[in-house]
Structure formats: structure tokens, C-alpha cells
């Protein structure tokens, strides 16, 4: 057929190189692949690799098309792939790697993990396990309510006991813990409003850090207030607490706001950006609450915050001293 086509082209004065039998055979194969293919036929990876490396590169019809180094290159590739497959498949176990373009943690990712898990459980009769970041997040999400309650309860109790033993009071730790927990919850609201999501692991880490770090602001302010109440009225004690603590609170707080905030803007990893961003927002909210809400609550609950008449200045001592001075002056005037 190739010779007939070449003679026909010669008679028609077509200026072209003659078609060889190998080229004609390839044309037939190409025509068949385009017009008579069967899309239901499937070939596994290993048979495909064997066909490419052992059959296709040694086909004499492709000798003029493929470079001379193709056999050596395919041999190297085949050895590398077999070595990699050997790491995935052992006598007692095998490993299946699944790649996706989904984020590590999102509703779509959770749905994908659930679908993949259900499919594997239905098809695989032997014991099998799932590993990976998305799988880990999905498993943690399943126990979120219980774990969140345990973490929150342990954190609150630990901080409450420490502050209660330090101040020897029950009201002060309640005020401070409620203030910081409010900052945590407002942080969640802001994260959901800005980004539309709050990663589970980020929430746990942020809550633990904020509860341990920002409550120091409230402790410092409350300590200055209680010390000032020994010699001042509530309003004067609040002013003294501001003067004594505001520099420390703003210095430490702004470091926690600016540092993580800048990192959140420039870090590409979603998890890290979410954690440091929530830290910055939570620290800012904690500063605002400490400098606005805590003072008002301390004054409103002054009787319980500063217990004992000897620790609470009422102004009566000054009036008594003034009366005594006036009484002492009257005899000398007479």
C-alpha cells in the first residue's frame, strides 16, 4: 500500500518524500485510535508502564521519530517508578495516596473526606486506616463539642484557681475570666465575619494562648485598683490604676496585636495565618475590654472586690481626722 501511494504521488508530480511502510502502519493505528476507540477499556498503571518502556520504545516503526537516548531514559524512569511503587506496596500492607486541590480544612474538604471514607469502607474488606492533615481535622471535628468543653473547662478552672489564690477573692477571678472569655468569643465572631470560617485547631490554640496571656492585663489593673482603694475612693483608685498599669498593658498588648497581625498578612499557610490573625484580634479585644469594661465592673462590685473595711477607704477617716484637728484647735483659740 505504501509503495502504491508513493508511485501515485510520483505520477501526480507531488513534491514530497515517499511514505514508508512504517509510516503507513502508524497512520492506520492513528486512524483506528481516533475512529474506532473503546472508552470502556482500562489499563492499570503498571501494565501501561511496561508497555511504554518495553514495547513502545522498541517498536521499529518509531525508530526515526524517537531520539536515540529514549531507551536509556525510559529504563531509568521505570526503575525509579518501580522503586517508588515498592515503597507503597509491601507484602503485609499497601499505601494509597490521594491528592486533591481542596484546602486542608473546609466544608468541601470534610465532605470529600466523608465520601472517600464511605467509599473505602464499602470496597475494602480488610483492616485499613486513614492518615493526613485533612483526615486529622475531620476526626477532631467529630469530637469538637466534647473536646472544646473539656479544654474550656480546664482552662477556666486553672486560671480561676490561680487568680483566686492570688487575690484571695472569688469575685475578681470571675470578672477577669468572663472578660477574657468574652474576648475569645468576640474573636470568633470577627473571624467568621471577615473570613467566613474559624478553623478548629486555630480556635483551640487561640483560646489557650489568650486565656493565659491577656488575663495578665486584668490582673495588673485589678491589683492596682485594690491597692489604691486602701487610701482612695473608687473613682480615684480607678484613675490611679490607669496611671499605674496602662503603659504596661499597652506595651505588652500592642506587641501581641502588631506582631501576629503582620504575620497574618504575609504568611501564605492558611492554618498559621488563621492562628496569628485570631491572636491579634483577640489581644486587641482583650485590651479594649480590660481598659473599658473591667474598670466599670470593679467599681460596680467594689464591696466584693475589696473586702474588709480595713482594705476599703470610705472617706470617713479623713472627716474624723479633720474633726479632731478642728477640735484640737478650739481650745487654743479660746
The answer to whether the CB of 57 falls within 8 A of the CB of 44 is no
In a domain, 101, yes or no: no
φ/ψ region of 106 (left if φ > 0, alpha if ψ in -120 to 50, else beta) reads beta
DSSP state of 91: S
In a domain, 267, yes or no: yes
For 38-50, write each residue's pLDDT tens digit. Answer: 777 777 777 887 8
Alpha carbon distances (Å) from 305 to 193, 233, 295, 296, 329: 36, 13, 11, 12, 39
3-state secondary structure of 174: helix
In a domain, 323, yes or no: no
Q: Number of folded domains in the chain? A: 3
DSSP string covering 246-266, please?
HHHHHHHHHHHHHHHHHHHHH
In a domain, 92, yes or no: no
Mean pLDDT of the residues in the chain: 80
Residue 118 and residue 197 share a domain: no
Domain that holds residue 245: 144-316
Residue 233 and residue 294 share a domain: yes
Burial of 102 (0-12, 13-18, 19+ CB in 10 A): middle
Residues 6+ apart with CB under 8 A from 70: 57
Residue 177 and residue 134 share a domain: no
DSSP state of 18: P
- Distance between CA atoms of 194 and 103, rounded to whole angstroms? 18
Residue 163 and residue 26 share a domain: no
In this prediction, residue 37 has a pLDDT band, given cuts at 50, 70 and 90, of confident
298 versus 190: the higher-pLDDT residue is 298
Residue 127 and residue 227 share a domain: no
Q: What is the mean pLDDT of residues 171-181?
A: 88
- Distance between CA atoms of 292 and 191, rounded to whole angstroms? 22
242 versus 319: the higher-pLDDT residue is 242
Q: Flag whether the pTM goes above 0.75.
A: no
Residue 207 and residue 312 share a domain: yes
Residue 118 and residue 54 share a domain: no
Amino acid at each position: 500500500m505504501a509503495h502504491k501511494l508513493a508511485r501515485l504521488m510520483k505520477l501526480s508530480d507531488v513534491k514530497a518524500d515517499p511514505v514508508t511502510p512504517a509510516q503507513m502502519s502508524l497512520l492506520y493505528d492513528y486512524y483506528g485510535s481516533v475512529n474506532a476507540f473503546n472508552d470502556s477499556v482500562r489499563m492499570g498503571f503498571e501494565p501501561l508502564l511496561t508497555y511504554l518502556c518495553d514495547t513502545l520504545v522498541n517498536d521499529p516503526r518509531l525508530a526515526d521519530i524517537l531520539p536515540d537516548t529514549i531507551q536509556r531514559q525510559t529504563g531509568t524512569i521505570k526503575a525509579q517508578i518501580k522503586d517508588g511503587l515498592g515503597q507503597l506496596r509491601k507484602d503485609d500492607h499497601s499505601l494509597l495516596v490521594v491528592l486533591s486541590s481542596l484546602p486542608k480544612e473546609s466544608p468541601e474538604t470534610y465532605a470529600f473526606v466523608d465520601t472517600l471514607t464511605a467509599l473505602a469502607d464499602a470496597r475494602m474488606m480488610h483492616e485499613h486506616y486513614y492518615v493526613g492533615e485533612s483526615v486529622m481535622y475531620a476526626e477532631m471535628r467529630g469530637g469538637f463539642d466534647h473536646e472544646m468543653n473539656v479544654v474550656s473547662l480546664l482552662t477556666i478552672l486553672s486560671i480561676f484557681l490561680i487568680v483566686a489564690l492570688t487575690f484571695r477573692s472569688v469575685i475578681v477571678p470571675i470578672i477577669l475570666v468572663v472578660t477574657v472569655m468574652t474576648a475569645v468569643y468576640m474573636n470568633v465572631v470577627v473571624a467568621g465575619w471577615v473570613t467566613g470560617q474559624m478553623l478548629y485547631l486555630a480556635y483551640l490554640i487561640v483560646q489557650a494562648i489568650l486565656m493565659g496571656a491577656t488575663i495578665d492585663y486584668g490582673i495588673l489593673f485589678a491589683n492596682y485598683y485594690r491597692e489604691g482603694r486602701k487610701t482612695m475612693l473608687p473613682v480615684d483608685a480607678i484613675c490611679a490604676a490607669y496611671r499605674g498599669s496602662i503603659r504596661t498593658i499597652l506595651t505588652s498588648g500592642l506587641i501581641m496585636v502588631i506582631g501576629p497581625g503582620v504575620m497574618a498578612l504575609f504568611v501564605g499557610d492558611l492554618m498559621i495565618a488563621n492562628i496569628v490573625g485570631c491572636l491579634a484580634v483577640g489581644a486587641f479585644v482583650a485590651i479594649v475590654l480590660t481598659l473599658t469594661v473591667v474598670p466599670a465592673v470593679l467599681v460596680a462590685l467594689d464591696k466584693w472586690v475589696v473586702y474588709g473595711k480595713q482594705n476599703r477607704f470610705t472617706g470617713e477617716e479623713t472627716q474624723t481626722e479633720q474633726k479632731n484637728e478642728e477640735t484640737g484647735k478650739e481650745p487654743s483659740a479660746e
